[in-house]
Amino acid sequence: MKFCDQCGAAVRLSIPAGDHLPRYVCEACSTIHYRNPRIVVGCVPEHEGRILLCRRAIEPRRGFWTVPAGFMENNETLQQAAARESQEEAQAEVTIGSLLSVVHVLHAEQVHVFFRARLPAARYAPGAESLEVGLVAPADIPWADLAFPSTEFTLHRYLEDKAGGSEPYHFTTIDRRLTRTPGS
Amino acid sequence: MKFCDQCGAAVRLSIPAGDHLPRYVCEACSTIHYRNPRIVVGCVPEHEGRILLCRRAIEPRRGFWTVPAGFMENNETLQQAAARESQEEAQAEVTIGSLLSVVHVLHAEQVHVFFRARLPAARYAPGAESLEVGLVAPADIPWADLAFPSTEFTLHRYLEDKAGGSEPYHFTTIDRRLTRTPGS
Q: What is the pLDDT of residues B80-135, one digit of tens each?
A: 999 999 999 999 999 999 999 999 999 999 999 999 999 999 999 999 999 999 99
Q: Minimal CA–CA distance to B150: which of B90, B99, B104?
A: B104
> What is the structure's pLDDT at B143?
98
Whole-complex ipTM: 0.93
One-letter amino acid of A129: E
> What is the structure's pLDDT at A178?
60
Q: State whether residue B153 is helix, strand or coil.
A: helix
Q: Please, how many CA atoms are within 13 Å of residue A92, restricted to the half-sphere of its CB?
A: 37
| Confidence check: pLDDT of A99 > 80 | yes
> What is the structure's pLDDT at A18?
84
* Residue of A35, A72, A171 lying closest to B74 (CB–CB): A35
Is B111 within 8 Å of A72 when comparing Cβ atoms? yes
CB pairs under 8 A between A and B: 104
pTM of the model: 0.94
What average pLDDT score do residues A20-25 get? 93
Q: How confident is the model over A52-86, as pLDDT tens digits?
A: 999 999 999 999 999 999 999 999 999 999 999 99
* Residue of A34, A79, A99 lying closest to B169 (CB–CB): A99
| Confidence check: pLDDT of B147 > 80 | yes
CB B88 within 8 A of CB B54: no
Cβ-Cβ contacts under 8 Å, B4 against chain A: 3, 5
Instruction: Give the torsion sign (CA, B163, B180, B178, A34).
Output: negative
Binned at pLDDT 50, 70 and 90, residue B20 comes out as confident
> What is the structure's pLDDT at B87?
98
Q: Cβ–Cβ contacts within 10 Å for residue B91, how many?
A: 15
Q: Is A99 on the interface with B (CB under 8 A)?
A: yes
Residues 6+ apart with CB under 8 A from A88: A68, A70, A127, A128, A129
Binned at pLDDT 50, 70 and 90, residue B2 comes out as very high
What average pLDDT score do residues A44-54 get? 98
Triad B70, B94, A79: Cα angle to 5°: 50
> What is the structure's pLDDT at B107?
94
Q: Is B181 on the interface with A (CB under 8 A)?
A: no
Q: Cβ–Cβ contacts within 10 Å for residue B47, how many?
A: 18
Q: Is B166 on the interface with A (CB under 8 A)?
A: no
Q: H or E element: which one contains B145?
A: none
Provide the Cα torsion A128, A65, B73, A26; round to 10°: -40
The rounded distance, in Å, linking the Cα atoms of A101 and B72 is 18
**What DSSP assignment string belongs to A2-60?**
-B-TTT--BEEEE--TT-SS-EEEETTT--EE---PEEEEEEEEEETTEEEEEEESSSS
Mean pLDDT score across all residues of chain A: 95
Q: Cβ–Cβ contacts within 10 Å for residue A42, how many?
A: 28
What's phi and psi for B111, nearest 5 deg?
A: -115, 120
Cβ-Cβ contacts under 8 Å, B72 against chain A: 36-37, 111
Q: Cβ–Cβ contacts within 10 Å for residue B30, how many?
A: 11
> What is the structure's pLDDT at A184?
38
Please tell me the distance in Å from B122's CA to the nearest CA on chain A. Answer: 25
Cis bond upstream, residue B16 (ω within 30): no
Binned at pLDDT 50, 70 and 90, residue B176 comes out as confident
> What is the structure's pLDDT at A182?
47
